[in-house]
Amino acid sequence: MPVRPLALRPGRAVSVCHVVRTAQRPLSTASNDKLAVDPAIRQRAQWITMKTHNTIPIPSHYNDLNGSLSEAWRLLTRGAADRKSPIHTPAVATVGLDGRPRVRTVVLRHTDPPSRTLRFHTDVRAAKIAEIAANPDVQVLAYDAVGKVQLRLLGRAVAHQRDDIADAAWSRSQHQSQQCYRQSASPGTGTAEPSAALVPSDNDGRANFVAVVVHVDELEWLYLAHSGHRRARFIWSGNTMTATWLAP
Ligand SMILES: Cc1cc2nc3c(=O)[nH]c(=O)nc-3n(C[C@H](O)[C@H](O)[C@H](O)COP(=O)(O)O)c2cc1C
């Protein structure tokens, strides 16, 4: 079978076999080799090996609705904690004030499976805050390309600006993140030149900081597999959950 080159870095093409061989070497003997010590590349190489040999294991949740749901929340929880997770930066869609869709990337800051909530942070002056005030319905979309899982969640967003939730989120934010909220011009306003809005205001930015909590009432799971995709939908009404397999 011909081996397709795999571009890892601009200007560097490496064959799949090289990546696989490198990833299989013991870490101690390859400490100078970035390919061998980077867990993301190692995981990808292992996945390529399994795909090449058609030995991708069927996960235990494959035909299990509850197992698929648990895996979805596990991925969302890890996504909030691990900045290298593909779930760390989901897309959040709102309904624009003109009724047309708006979607943007955010950083997933916290996931709480028991309360079925997700949290991200934003600026109170951002367009999405006015949109959420007018219509709190949001959709969150995330895709894990290695795990082959797409998550689509529907929920209602609540913006916390001056309460304990916002205070706690602000105090746990890194100084560098807090600086974003000091920008004097509102996000999305036109500026005469590109860096004009970066002039920081005198305040510490706290007044502009909002923690947005999404209360999930529907979660759609899609798992891609050669042996047949699996798609499922989970809907909560109060504490009652309805789970259904869907045609992919
Ligand atoms: C990787 C990445 C992460 C981002 N994280 C956030 C975030 O956590 N909060 C946020 O308000 N905007 C974030 N943004 C910027 C938004 O995608 C968007 O451009 C901005 O919030 C304006 O959106 P709005 O005008 O619809 O409110 C991020 C963008 C990227 C590319």
Looking up residue 214, the CATH number of its domain turns out to be: 2.30.110.10
The model carries a pTM of 0.82
pLDDT recorded at residue 22: 34
Low-confidence ranges of the chain (pLDDT < 50): 1-31
Q: Which residues is 104 bridged to in the sheet?
A: 92
Position 39 scores a pLDDT of: 76
Is residue 188 included in any domain, yes or no?
yes
Rounded to the nearest whole angstrom, what is the distance from the C-alpha of residue 104 to the centroid of ligand 1? Answer: 6
What atom in ligand 1 is closest to the CA of residue 120? 8
Atom 19 of ligand 1, residue of closest alpha carbon: 104
Ligand 1 and 122: CB distance under 6 A: yes
> Of the candidates 127, 140, 63, which has an alpha carbon nearest to the alpha carbon of residue 96?
127
Cβ within 8 Å of residue 86, ≥6 positions away: 79, 142, 143, 144, 145, 146
Is the CB of residue 20 below 6 angstroms from any atom belonging to ligand 1?
Answer: no
Please tell me if the CB atom of residue 127 comes closer than 6 angstroms to any atom of ligand 1: yes
Domain enclosing residue 211, as ranges: 65-246
pLDDT at res. 33:
61
| Percent of the chain whose predicted confidence (pLDDT) is above 90 | 67
The DSSP bridge partners found for residue 221 are 151, 232
Residue 58 lies in a domain: no
Ligand 1: does its nearest atom lie under 6 Å from the Cβ of 24?
no
Q: Are 196 and 157 part of one and the same domain? A: yes
Q: How far is the CA of 49 from the centre of ligand 1 (A)?
A: 36
Amino acid, single-letter form, for residue 212: V
Q: Is residue 59 a part of any domain in this protein?
A: no
pLDDT at residue 72, rounded to an integer = 98
Q: Which atom of ligand 1 is nearest to the CA of 126?
A: 27
Q: Are residues 11 and 70 in the same domain?
A: no
Same domain as 206, residue 131: yes
Find out whether 68 and 246 touch, Cβ atoms under 8 Å: no
Q: How far apart are CA 8 and CA 10, in angstroms?
A: 7
Instruction: Quote the ligand 1 centre to 170 CA distance (angstroms).
Output: 17
* 102 ligand 1 Cβ < 6 A: yes
> Which pLDDT score is estimated for 200?
72
CA end-to-end span of the chain, whole Å? 31
Q: Are residues 48 and 75 in the same domain?
A: no
Phi, psi (degrees; rounded to nearest 5) at 112: -125, 95
Tell me if 36 is assigned to some domain.
Answer: yes
CA 107 to ligand 1: nearest atom: 8
**Using a 6 Å cutoff on CB, does residue 41 contact ligand 1?**
no
Q: Give the pLDDT confidence score for residue 86 in this predicted structure.
A: 96
Check if 94 has its Cβ closer than 6 Å to any atom of ligand 1: no
The finding on whether 110 has its CB within 6 A of some atom of ligand 1 is: no
Q: Are 15 and 124 within one domain?
A: no
Clarify whether residues 34 and 128 are in a common domain. no
Q: Select from 89, 92, 94, 104 the residue to mutate for testing ligand 1; criterion: most ligand atoms less than 8 Å from CB.
A: 104
The total domain count for the chain is 2
Could you give the count of Cα atoms lying within 13 Å of 32 in the half-sphere of its Cβ? 0
CA–CA dist 203, 59 (Å, integer): 51
Claim to verify: residue 199 and residue 123 sit in the same structural domain: yes
The residue contributing the CA closest to ligand 1 atom 5 is 106
